[in-house]
């Protein structure tokens, strides 16, 4: 299409950015890193809960 320059959109806020960039600013980069840490911690907690439940089920009396 004529008139549209090549671009991408920031994966955090959606602003148009240069094609070789992922984020529009350091603030968006920090926000994404914060969200990734939050997701990682949530995943770790869920696995710990799952393994805790499985561990308890393994040693419960069957009667």
H/E/C letters for each residue in the chain? CCCCCCCEECCCCCCEECCCCCCCCHHHHHHHHHHHHHHHHHHHHHHHHHHHHHHHHHCCCCC
Q: What is the pTM of this model?
A: 0.71
In a domain, 33, yes or no: yes
In a domain, 44, yes or no: yes
Look at residues 29, 1, 3, 2 and name the one whose alpha carbon lies nearest to residue 15.
29
In a domain, 63, yes or no: no
In a domain, 16, yes or no: yes
The answer to whether residues 20 and 26 touch, using CB atoms and an 8 Å cutoff, is no
Domain tally, the chain: 1
In a domain, 21, yes or no: yes
Tokens 């148009």 belong to 16
pLDDT in tens, 4-60: 889 999 999 999 999 999 999 999 999 999 999 999 999 999 999 999 999 999 988
Confidence tier at 3 by pLDDT (50, 70, 90): confident
- Give the structural domain span for 19: 8-58
In a domain, 1, yes or no: no
């Amino acid at each position: 299409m004529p008139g549209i320059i090549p671009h991408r959109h920031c994966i955090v806020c959606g602003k148009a950015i240069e094609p070789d960039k992922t984020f529009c600013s350091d603030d968006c980069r920090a926000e994404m890193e914060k969200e990734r840490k939050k997701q990682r911690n949530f995943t770790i907690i869920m696995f710990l809960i799952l393994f805790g439940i499985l561990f308890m089920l393994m040693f419960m009396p069957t009667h």
